Structure 1
Amino acid sequence: MRRCLCAVVGLCLATVTAGCSAEPTEGVASETPTSSGTAAVRANGLPHSGAPAVSTPLPESVLPQDPCRAFTRQQIVEALGADAPEGERDDIATGPWCSWQDSTTGAGIFVNFLTETREGLSTLYRNMRPVVKVWREIPSIGGFPAVAFQSTENQRACSVNVGLSDVYAVSVSVVPGRAKKDRVDLCELSGKLAQTLVDNLKERAGR
């Protein structure tokens, strides 16, 4: 599963968790924290590296213990089809992980609860933004800041990451089936499922 994470989804765990302080690449705009973000920096050093502050966080308790319960069975079927496989859990360096991979079509869904770094989106802004080939600061998802990236320009998936608080985030990547791989916007595809995940978590929180 760790090989799949790096090779297919492209979330390079060594880079994310190493805590390196590489400077942002030229042409990538950094963000100035809001007043609430500045207060957060003074309190616990978060957010940093240009990551936006999360003004109305969700409690981490909304995350299901099993990341394979991030979606309902019906939501997985709608995304992958009636023969969609069951999710397979793993615990990786960044936090709990689940994958649904259809070996017949080549399609897959990958979810990671980024809970281990304790820096939320700040980890990605510091360690991933300088090295990935595609980096998009996208519109908020469910009212939460979000960013999408691809490690390489021809990667088969786009990782959409949503900061649900300053200390944790969730990541969703969707790999389209082989028949659709050249006909869809990969980041838009992952973003739609990330919206579904956030909606599920907000429902668990009673919002």
Structure 2
Amino acid sequence: MVTYRIAALVAGFALLVAGCTSDTDGSPESTDDGDGPGATGDPDPGGVELPHSGAPSVDNPIDPEPFLGEPCSVFDVDALEVAGFEILEVTPEPKAPVGPTCQWIFDPRSDGSFSGIFGQLDEQGVSSVYAQRDSLDLFEELDPIEGHPIVAYSQHDGRESGRCSVAVGLRDDFAYDIGVTAIGVDNEYSADPCGTAHELAGLAIETMTEGEE
């Protein structure tokens, strides 16, 4: 069932967004409309040769194993702030059904959040997204970083409302998904949520590459 993974990951992302919902004035409410991180794909790759469906190969594979137990270690809060991302709160979910997950809430909270998921529901990497490109409302190849392909995707294009998800190829058979939910209408993240996700992808790749050295 080719939509299994994206449906599961969208549900997981919705729970993350709901977690930062508050009755306090100025705090974000869940606005998920199906734009969550997580590639499409069959949970059983069935020995399919990778990459497929036009997806590019990963030139510099990264082993995600060191980060699976501590998914929040992908982003150092100090490094995020140096890059211009003010962070209020960090919430790890290493045992999430969709795969090890972490959410970073922007400061102020009303700006929204972003999350990262080591999706473990298939073994097809970004090929899962490419295989479903014709059925996605948003499919856009972004500039690769250090040999790692990056693609923005969604069942429902939420860029105008500050939402974007990208899949980052760590290996041909493994993708890391980043979802930005910039709820505030007047913040720097909502103007270009896919650009924000792409910048975050670069920071993640840098951290995970250094972790292998």
**TM-score normalized by the length of structure 1:** 0.73
Corresponding position of 1:75: 79
SS at the partner of 1:74?
Answer: helix
Q: Distance in 1 between matches of 2:189 and 2:212?
A: 37
1:57-206 alignment to 2 at 5 Å?
57-78=61-82, 80-81=85-86, 84-89=88-93, 91-102=95-106, 104-127=109-132, 129-155=133-159, 156-178=162-184, 179-180=186-187, 184-206=191-213
Q: Distance in 1 between matches of 2:104 and 2:89?
A: 6
Aligned length: 181
Q: Write out per-residue CA displacement over residues 169-193 of structure 1, whole angstroms, 9 at most, x where no aligned residue.
A: 1111222351227862111111001
Tell me which of 51, 58, 62 is aligned to 1:54: 58
SS at the partner of 2:110?
Answer: coil
**TM-score normalized by the length of structure 2:** 0.71
- 1:16 aligned onto 2:23: no
Residue 163 (structure 1) shift = 0.6
- Structure 1, unpaired ranges of 5+: 21-42
Percent of residue pairs identical: 23
Q: Write out per-residue CA displacement over residues 66-88 of structure 1, whole angstroms, 9 at most, x where no aligned residue.
A: 21221112134455426x11223
8 A contact 2:90–2:102 mirrored in 1: no
Q: Write out per-residue CA displacement over residues 123-175 of structure 1, whole angstroms, 9 at most, x where no aligned residue.
A: 12223x23221211111122211111233233531112111111101111222
- Structure 2, unpaired ranges of 5+: 1-10, 18-31
Q: Write out per-residue CA displacement over residues 41-100 of structure 1, whole angstroms, 9 at most, x where no aligned residue.
A: xx8511112211223312233434221221112134455426x11223154454211112
8 A contact 2:37–2:167 mirrored in 1: no
